[in-house]
Structure 1
Amino acid sequence: MRIGLLFEYSTINGGENSILAVVDEARSMDVQPVAILNQPGPLEDQFLKLNLPVCRLYESDDRSSKLTNDELSQRLRDVIRLEKLELVHANSMMMSRRLGRISNTLPVPTTGHIRDIMNVSQATIRDLSLNRSLIAVSEAVREHWIAAGIPEHQVQSIYNGIHFDQFAQRTSSNNFRQRYNLPEDAFLVAAIGQICLRKGQDEAVEAFSRIGSRYPKMHFLLVGKRHSQKSETIAYDERLDQIIHEAGLNDRFHRLGFCERIPELLNETDLLVHTARQEPLGRVLLEAAASGVAIIATRVGGTEEILTHNQSAILVEPRDIDQLTEAMSQLYNEPQRRTDLLSAAQSSIQQRFNIADRASETVQFWKDILRNSRDSN
């Protein structure tokens, strides 16, 4: 079964890592994925590293404008013919919308992933609904889009999965701490994710600024990169440094930027603080739990489908800095509670989010679409 995977960007974030994990596993299930990209970049490099075919929609590397619908349709028809694709699957909501618009011009069925919880126009709902079916990454995402107007039978929830052997907790080597000149006895609190308002890093940074002086061994790692060039996002990013500067904690606040070695980082992290204001299904929560890291997260989106308050994590309300500060203090001072929470989270994640099961479910989704398409023809 040859599946074309259509991507919006060639960067690698949570959604790309999630489909890469599926792709790697699905090859043993008689699936041949083909990446369809707009431009070169890290995602193309990763597919080539996996010895998988890559097709570019643009003829040159420097094209900045988007393809028109007619151009996209023609390019995809060419790719479908050359690569003998049986189905095209878009990996994001925006590309699922674009694919839906031209689905009736393509000789194969189209499907897509929805990895967002957001308000959109009815035109977007109509476009998305033109695909044969859609995958939502959590029940929270599925319910949101059904309420927005997508027919219930067209949206199936399939969780992201991870390779546990990549994140299983190991004996710390302190290599990561040495690389960034962090004390061996430092208590490392990490916030990991793209720097943007939706991820709410300002709340975690504000909480650290309030309690950092109380706990001299506590260090804060801000891991991630800002992609948006919007003025409000730039100001938000700059505000993070300002909060720390005003608190006098510059020497214990570490911006690591984009980090390729997340498993190594998590292996030496003591506490993950994930203060997203909206979260469809946080991949970093799965990775932290698999790595044996205690977690504080906001009670939003699909997070409660991953974690249970006071059983596998501490869940706080978004924008409640007092509640977040108290939770951080508790877990700093109570190592046994950290151990109890991380053990429960690790066990739960291994049972419910292993990549073999999630990849099998995704492959079956594609097979069902193909079978139904052939039956209808």
Structure 2
Amino acid sequence: MKKTIISYILNAALVLLSLCFSLVIVEISLPFLKIRTIEEAVYQVKRPVVQYIYGQYNPTLRYTLKTNLHNIRIHYSNQLDYTIDTNKYGFRGEDWDISPQRKNIIILGDSFAFGWGVQRKEMIGKHLEKELKQLDPSYQVINLAIPGYSINEIIACLELYRNLLKPVASVYIFCPNDLDGISEPIFPGIYDIEYKPRPDDEKLFQEMIERNQPGYWSLNRFYRGSYCKAFHARVIRPLFSKRIRKSLSIDPAPDGYDFPPPIETANNCSDSPKAKFLASCLKRLHGDLLSRNFYILNTSDKYTLFKYDQPNSIRWSLKKISLETPNMYFIDFETFARKTPGSRNYYLDYDDHWSAQGHAAAAGLLLEKMKSTLPNIANKTVQLSPTDLRPVQ
């Protein structure tokens, strides 16, 4: 009996040892195979997330970036390589010129508007500023975008700085996940979106920053970024889950195009809870601007664009709200991307975010709208167009 128990223990130990050895071989071998779907999964976990590394707690906005950063390199081999600087307020770029003669245009949004993955000179805001200054040198484009912000923080950010900056117009780069902070109305059409700090919020935020520093190691962090986990997520699990297979699939696009075409009409989705929340937030943003020109440009990550266009897309609500609101203008980047050959180049390779070409294309669309609606430049010549996709040198 004793020999039998010892035999079982030895056999179990050999099985466990063999399994561990196999996992080590897989972990070592997979990086050399360069399987795209696995490399993408590893990248999504291991890429440097700027607000997790250089974030700074803020009791009003939850967080900004650390102030006065200079020439900080954000790098991931062959996929990300850009530098950031921050001003004394913790936003990307130099300190603001708040002299009275300035005509400030504010950029609001999350990582798309922030310029994730591109140099500052390649960002949508710098394209806008360069062209607007040729028509009126008093224009200044100020970036208040921070990666990870929901529409709650975007509203709080505008309300915190509007009196200082006195914007003549604002551009909101809308991303569908901005609505992740949706809340139940406290009254019909009224939402409580203010951040209410808890006693340990700052401590928890600092601990999160420490866990995301490049030199930090933990078994959980290693496991989440391992090739074995990526293989399981992208190869093994889809074999047993129709839902996962569908989420990873790509719908066919017409010849010469990268994405399926846009639909021409859409259902009225304005009665959904998400659409009602969005309408309330946009009206509040527009009111904060004292009804000055408010431009909304929608984004969609390329994985959404790889799917067939949907009649319940939230961008139809954006369009409807803007048509009903004076001085609110909607620019449909998703439809533009779906209708443009080669628009896959508007996005980074493994990442969802715009490339330098995507920023230039979005700036061209905005300038086309601004030249007919923005005071003092209406009907003046704007040189950049959506098809001029060369990054600013």
Q: Whose radius of gyration is greater, 1 or 2?
A: 2
TM-score by length of 2: 0.29
TM-score by length of 1: 0.30
